[in-house]
Amino acid sequence: MKPIPPALRPRSQWGTIPWAPTIYGRSVLGLPLEVWRPRGRCERLVFAAIHGEEPETTWALSRALRQLAAPPEHAAVVLAANPDGLIRGTRANANGVDLNRNFPASNWRAGTVTSRATIDLPSDVGLGTGTAPASEPETQALLALITELQPEVVIALHAPLACIDDAHATDLGRRLAERTGMPLVPDVGYATPGSFGSWGQEQGVPVITYEFPVIANEHTMMLHVPVLVELLTGTLP
Domain membership flag for residue 210: no
The answer to whether the beta carbons of residues 52 and 81 sit under 8 Å apart is no
Per-residue pLDDT, 37: 97
Domain membership flag for residue 205: no
Show which residues are catalytic: 211
Residue in 209, 213, 210, 93 with CA at minimum distance from that of residue 162: 213
Domain membership flag for residue 5: no
Per-residue pLDDT, 1: 44
Measured distance CA(235)–CA(237) in Å, rounded: 6
Measured distance CA(123)–CA(137) in Å, rounded: 26
The answer to whether the beta carbons of residues 79 and 45 sit under 8 Å apart is no
Q: Which residue ranges of the chain lie beneath pLDDT 70?
A: 1-5
Number of independent structural domains in the chain: 1
Residue 222: which CATH number?
A: 3.40.630.10
The answer to whether the beta carbons of residues 151 and 75 sit under 8 Å apart is no
The answer to whether the beta carbons of residues 164 and 207 sit under 8 Å apart is no
Burial class (CB in 10 A: 0-12, 13-18, 19+), 224: buried
Per-residue pLDDT, 190: 86
